[in-house]
Amino acid sequence: LEKLGEGGMAIVYKARCRLLHRIVAIKLLRPQYASDEEFVERFRRESQAAASLSHPNVVNIYDVGKDGDKYYIVMEYVKGDSLREILRKNGPLPPGRAAWIASQICEALDHAHRNNIVHRDIKPHNILVTEDGMVKVTDFGIARATTAATLTETGTVIGTVNYFSPEQARGAPVGAQSDLYSLGVV
């Protein structure tokens, strides 16, 4: 239906699911990553792991697949703005609202960490806020696949380094504490 946004790894579109007649978001992996078989395998594995998460503060993943040479993730469409857009429009948040948003992000991360999934790319762009104030954390699968492929194979970092934990910036192994560090920066 329309292009919603894009980042270094993928382009996101709003679409209508013909089977279930609902609005979804489709994330298409950029072609330069689709040609790297090892990266694609990690992307697929991590996306499937992220799809196992079921929590009100995590964007639901409905499908992961391939159409020709295009790799995609079909996920819940969230009507609202990213925290990045909210901050750009309104400036710093009042402390109470900031704490409310942070507490919902903590709930999402706690659920993921209890399921052995580390986000690795917590930043305002990956935090969506619905029109009624519900927080949804997105990009679990792609964030983990990105970090694994780029830090261990090319020595470069893709993402927003302003939010990286010290161990992540060094290319060292990361865990739940890295997500919490990034949340603190946010």
Q: Which residues participate in catalysis according to the annotation?
A: 121
Neighbours of 41 (CB within 10 A): 12
Phi, psi of 136 (to 5 degrees): -130, 120
Side chain identity at 68, as an amino acid letter?
G
Under DSSP, is residue 148 helix (H, G, I), strand (E, B) or coil?
helix
74, 78, 81, 89, 128 from 131: Cα distances, Å: 21, 9, 8, 15, 10
DSSP result, 13-31:
EEEEETTTTEEEEEEEEPH
Single out the residue of 116, 80, 109, 74 nearest to residue 182, CA to CA: 109
